[in-house]
Amino acid sequence: MAALHRGPSLSPRSLVASGPGFDRFVRSHTEYEYAYYRSGKWAFRDALDLAMAARNGSEVVLPAYIPDGFVEPIREAGLTPRFHRMRADLRPDLGDVRSLVDGDTLAVVSVGYFGKPQPIEVNEALRSLCDAHGAVLVDDAAHGAFSVGEGGLAGTVGHLGFASLHKALPIPDGAVLYVADEALRGTLPRSGVASGPTPADLRYLASASLTRARRSIRSATRRRSAGQSSPPTPSARNPRALYRRSKGEMSWLSARVARRVDPAAIRRRRRENYAVWERLFAERPGLAQVYPSLGVETCPQYYPTVLTDLAEPVAVLGQPWPPLPDEVRANDRFAVTNHLAACLYTFPVHPDLTPAAIEAAIHRATDVEAGGSDADRSTTPVAVSLPGSTRER
């Protein structure tokens, strides 16, 4: 059975849309200084330089539940990553964070997963801890460029913060760095926006047109491929090479689309699609909800849920996340994190999808479970035990 596509594709309408744009959205929520980048990791690299120019410390404390490539800017800056343990509800284990933060800590990273900012009490606790040790709090809102939490616009809750536009929009790249603490302001040598279109922009436009055409054909013919009851095996990753390719300025094409988006409409469509997954998955015993509530102004990146049985038929519609850093993967200290990386699946909610399409995909997946042939079920049922505690030990 064909899986739903993971992200939106660029349409010609995006280039001529008349929405209020990302800049106006930002200014409606904050007056903090900000700048554009090719990627969130590249923005984070500048954030580290700002921190090093103003504070002492050689270590960065960050969640163990993080993609492997996130540590590349830290290492490139000559700093040491120190991973803290997680709770099953995607909050940091604050006790473990406190045990790691000391006089050698330059920065602590707070991550809002899948578009939902951390609760205000969590960020306040982290901010107080940083202030007590002379460290910088970095608000990682890579998944939540259009989200607003109790503490304000996602990415602006810490001393520094960033968000990835290309994870919310049909664009090839784009991120923003926020400088909330005036004492940290300085030059941002890695920031910038291309002054005009490049061959890479044209290639992206051509690829997007081809992708949309293929999706239309698949939708019209309603083709089904049997035997995809488990997610595809990810290809070999090279985090360092991926990081190198993420360096540079924001493309002209991405900036043009960002200036014309309608953040309210994007958030509304994503929340509508999120609600479909939430409603239909609530009926399935093999799934465990991650977030009891979404938050009034959260713009979700995906719908996350934990599979308590990896043979759950709807798994084909999502993907596990993330590929963990080497220091964390299979490390008993991070049992909860490794469980989440194996069993927390993300399901698409982007605006190209409709509630009807999501419902149809779920029903087709569960129809295979109810009455499909053996050829439709290529996975032997695998029971997955939840950790005995919601905290890592």
Question: What is the domain-level CATH number for residue 367?
Answer: 3.90.1150.10
Give, for all 393 residues of the chain, the pLDDT tens digit: 445 788 887 877 777 777 899 999 999 999 999 999 999 999 999 999 999 999 999 999 999 999 999 999 999 999 999 999 999 999 999 999 999 999 999 999 999 999 999 999 999 999 999 999 999 999 999 999 999 999 999 999 999 999 999 999 999 999 999 999 999 998 899 999 999 999 999 999 888 888 766 765 555 444 343 333 343 344 467 999 999 999 999 999 999 999 999 999 999 999 999 999 999 999 888 999 999 999 999 999 999 999 998 889 999 999 999 999 999 999 999 999 999 999 999 999 999 999 999 999 999 998 865 555 434 443 333 333 334 345 565
Asked if residue 207 and residue 101 are part of one domain, the reply reads no
Asked if residue 207 and residue 179 are part of one domain, the reply reads no
Prior bond to 232 cis, omega within 30? no
Report if residue 193 sits inside a domain.
Answer: no
Asked if residue 93 and residue 36 are part of one domain, the reply reads yes
Asked if residue 227 and residue 160 are part of one domain, the reply reads no
Asked if residue 126 and residue 69 are part of one domain, the reply reads yes
Within 34-170, residue ranges assigned H as helices are 40-54, 71-76, 94-100, 120-133
Of 38, 44, 262, 40, the closest CA to residue 172 belongs to 38
pTM score, two decimals? 0.89
Q: Which domain holds residue 367?
A: 201-239+263-376
329: buried, middle or exposed (CB in 10 Å: 19+, 13-18, 0-12)? Answer: middle
Number of domains in the chain: 2
Report if residue 3 sits inside a domain.
Answer: no
Asked if residue 21 and residue 48 are part of one domain, the reply reads yes
Q: Does residue 142 contact residue 162 with C-beta atoms inside 8 Å? A: yes
